[in-house]
Amino acid sequence: MRHNPGTMFFYAGIVSVITGALSVFSLWSTNQAVLSSTDLAQGAAGDAAVMAQLALGIVTAVTSLIATGALVVSVSQSVIGQKVSLGQVWRAVRGRVWSLIGLSLLIVLIAIGFVIVTSIIFALLLVTVFSAMLGTFTGDVTEEGFMLVLGLTLLALALSAIPAFIIATRLSVSFSAVVLEKAGPGTAMSRSWRLTRGSTWRLIGLYVLMAIIAVIVTSALGVPVALLAETLGLSPGLSLAASAVVGVLANLIVTPFTAGVLSLAYIDLRIRSEGLDVQLAQAAARA
């Protein structure tokens, strides 16, 4: 970040401002729908709120992907002490946008498939619990038997989070591979899966720490402003504006931070498994 602060904050700022503006419009539309006195006005405001939420999701996803790609390029150049301009970063990323979108959609499909499978398993477990409650399998159900089945169900729910974290972690450097190695979505996922082999739990710990820091930063900015707005009795409009400003500031900090962590994790994995440090030293010497 020290070598290319302007580049990193510029792309993070674009995402922050766009999502902040759409969030304000979405919240305003929802508020209008609640406060409208007529059914027609409520319906129009409600439709606007739904469209705003949809637009917010799509625009946030696309701009975040572009910003992530740009930040990956910036961090990779910062590692060798190289400064890059906004134009250089954009030229490196623009040809990878569709691959980034394809990778994101592929990961979403995998997540949906995982949710479907686990939901079926949970449904079967819940049927077992209800059957135990009704005594359809074993006749009269003892309290101990019911608590055992319920405990096993809760344990299964808790354990199901483990493979989800593992899969997400194993695919976490796919985006870096798409941008820096010019890999396609499928190739990038395979590449990420190989690079993270043997480092899964270390990466999970790193990402958990990253998430905790991001939450702390966001809360440190948001909570005081929310308390101040409540204390001063600010109008809904001013409260929305204050929330938007806080959101922009939080994203300006959190987005480069998280992108930097993911990019450095990718570089670290390649250093450990492929000796990338030698190539980086040679690149730095040529720079």
For the segment 97-122, what is each residue's pLDDT rounded down to a tens digit? 899 899 988 988 887 787 777 767 77
Mean pLDDT of the chain: 76
What's the whole-model pTM score?
0.73
pLDDT for the residue numbered 212: 94
User: In angstroms, what CA-CA distances link 183 with 97, 139, 188?
Assistant: 12, 59, 5
pLDDT for the residue numbered 140: 54
Structure tokens given for 207: 């990402």
Does residue 79 have a pLDDT over 80? Answer: no
DSSP code for 95: T
CA angle 13, 16, 19 (to 5 degrees): 145
Identify the domain containing residue 14 by its residue range. 5-286
Contact 244, 26 (CB under 8 A): no
Q: Give me the mean pLDDT over the 122-127 stretch.
A: 70
Report how many domains make up the chain. Answer: 1
pLDDT for the residue numbered 256: 82
Helix (H, G, I), strand (E, B) or coil at 4: coil
Q: What pLDDT, in 10s, does the model give residues 158-168?
A: 666 777 788 88
Q: Which residue has the higher pLDDT, 85 or 172?
A: 172
Pairwise CA distance, residues 130 & 280, whole Å: 60
Q: Which of 68-72, 160-164, 183-187 is predicted least confidently? A: 160-164
pLDDT for the residue numbered 174: 92
Pairwise CA distance, residues 198 & 139, whole Å: 48
Question: In one letter, which amino acid is 242?
Answer: A
